[in-house]
Amino acid sequence: MNAKKSFENCIFNSRFFKNAQIKAEKIAQNPELLSELIHQADKKALEKGRGGLGEAKDSLVIFFRMLRAYVRGEYRNIPWKTLVAIVGAMVYFVMPLDFIPDFIFGFGITDDVALILWTIKSIKDDIDQFSKWEENGVI
């Protein structure tokens, strides 16, 4: 197993990720909680900036757009599994104390970025479908 896969496995098997997934199930069912999570994640993304998040910043922006459209009722073609995956990644992202705590300068965001990028890869088809909807207004 390569180092990247090993690192990802450590994140996915951590109690922090498991807690994020449990919270995600509850948040995904409540539009007010979901809106608040989007706000918190957007605020943290702005604080970290592009430099800290790298290519995960673009993925977060897609998550934000998708979830905002979902909350507004404009786009409901998100499978439950995908919705929970996105919300779980965002919950993990906003958690200051996770597998690598955010206060560890230079490394604290590494696990967050890895999880966001993994989530994007795992739901690529749903992201592509949403992008088509955004472009054309149809699925």
**Six token digits for residue 125:** 């088809």
Mean pLDDT on 103-121: 85
Average pLDDT, the chain: 87
Judge contact between 82 and 123, C-beta under 8 A.
yes
Judge contact between 77 and 133, C-beta under 8 A.
yes
Q: Which residues contact 70 (CB under 8 A, 6 or more apart)?
A: 34, 76, 78, 83
Q: In this predicted model, what pLDDT tens digit does every residue of 72-109 receive, in sequence order?
A: 999 999 999 999 999 999 999 999 888 888 788 778 88
**Six token digits for residue 26:** 């509850």
CA gap 64, 59 in Å, rounded: 9
**Six token digits for residue 61:** 């922006």
Q: Which residues contact 40 (CB under 8 A, 6 or more apart)?
A: 94
- The answer on pLDDT for 4 being more than 70 is no
Judge contact between 138 and 76, C-beta under 8 A.
no
- pTM of the predicted structure, to 2 decimals: 0.87
Position 66 scores a pLDDT of 95
Give the best-scoring range by mean pLDDT among 10-14, 59-63, 101-105.
Answer: 59-63
Q: How many CB atoms lie within 10 A of CB 104?
A: 10
**Confidence band (pLDDT; 50, 70, 90) for 40?**
very high
Q: What percent of the chain has pLDDT over 90?
A: 53
**Confidence band (pLDDT; 50, 70, 90) for 50?**
low
Position 94 scores a pLDDT of 92
Q: Which residue has the higher pLDDT, 51 or 17?
A: 17
Q: Which of 79, 98, 113, 119 is nearest to 19 (CA)?
A: 98
